Amino acid sequence: MAQIPAGRVLRGDQRGAERREIEVDAFEIAVYPVTEEQMAEILGVPAHNPRRPAVQVSWLRAVRFCNALSEWEGLDPVYSYDGEIVDWDTESEGIRLPTEDEWEYACRAGSTGSTYGPIAEIAWTAGDGLPGPVEVGGRLPNLHGLFDILGNVSEWCWDLFDPDTGDTRVFRGGGWSDARAVVRATARRGASPRAVFDDVGLRVARGPLTRAR
């Protein structure tokens, strides 16, 4: 896990020009996306390519993985369930998904541009002609030391994509099947919390959320 200090950043959305300043409390976020090996160790599923990011993971399974990892680490679980309704204990010190604000703040790592370096050097995209995700850590990290936060796989966040349009959840960053022009800190899409994709995984975070949302 990397320690991310509190701070501010202009958050964007590549679908439009509007940007707004966000303020983020200090938190921790994983240096790499969750790998198949980690998923296998915690949930007991097969790991065909241990160092590749875990994909075909729904948002609902992602939050259950976070709870299982919290218990593995001896921490109180962050999430509670009522069927598919998920609540978050924002004061918990357990493992969780990052919020959108946290994700973009951590991704930018002080950069004001749409990427934190030349995209061909920092991210795996469709421009590399890949058949699927590749092992984590193969391209340059950002200034927080985070690898693959752009490209390789998009990453689920906690937030609703649009609170006015149902339970669709957000994933950020772009993946191996996306064009280089799409893989950006502003890349923002959403899907059903039950949906799975071969280019969407997760990255875990930790730390209570003290700022009102």
DSSP output for 98-144: PPHHHHHHHHHTT--SSSSS-HHHH---GGG--SS---TT-S---TT
Residue 61 maps to a domain: yes
What does the alpha-carbon distance between residue 159 and residue 167 come to, in Å, rounded to a whole number? 10
Amino acid at 77: P
Contact 29, 106 (CB under 8 A): yes
Q: What is the pLDDT of residues 30-68, one digit of tens each?
A: 999 999 999 999 998 889 999 999 999 999 999 999 999
Residue 211 maps to a domain: no
| pLDDT of res. 86 | 96
Residue 47 maps to a domain: yes
Helix (H) or strand (E) holding 47: none
Bridge partners, residue 10, by sequence: 21
CATH of the domain at 103: 3.90.1580.10
As a 3-state breakdown, the chain gives helix, strand, coil percent values, each rounded to 5, of: 20, 25, 55
Residue 213 maps to a domain: no
Angle at the Cα of 81 from the Cα atoms of 80 and 86, rounded to 5 degrees: 85
Contact 128, 99 (CB under 8 A): no
Name the residue among 40, 34, 68 with its Cα closest to residue 201: 34
Residue 156 maps to a domain: yes
Q: Is 41 helix (H, G, I), strand (E, B) or coil?
A: helix
Q: Which residues of the chain have pLDDT under 70?
A: 12-19, 210-213
pTM: 0.93
Residue 107 maps to a domain: yes
Domain with 113, as residue range(s), is 2-11+20-82+91-206
| pLDDT of res. 20 | 76
Count of structural domains, the chain: 1
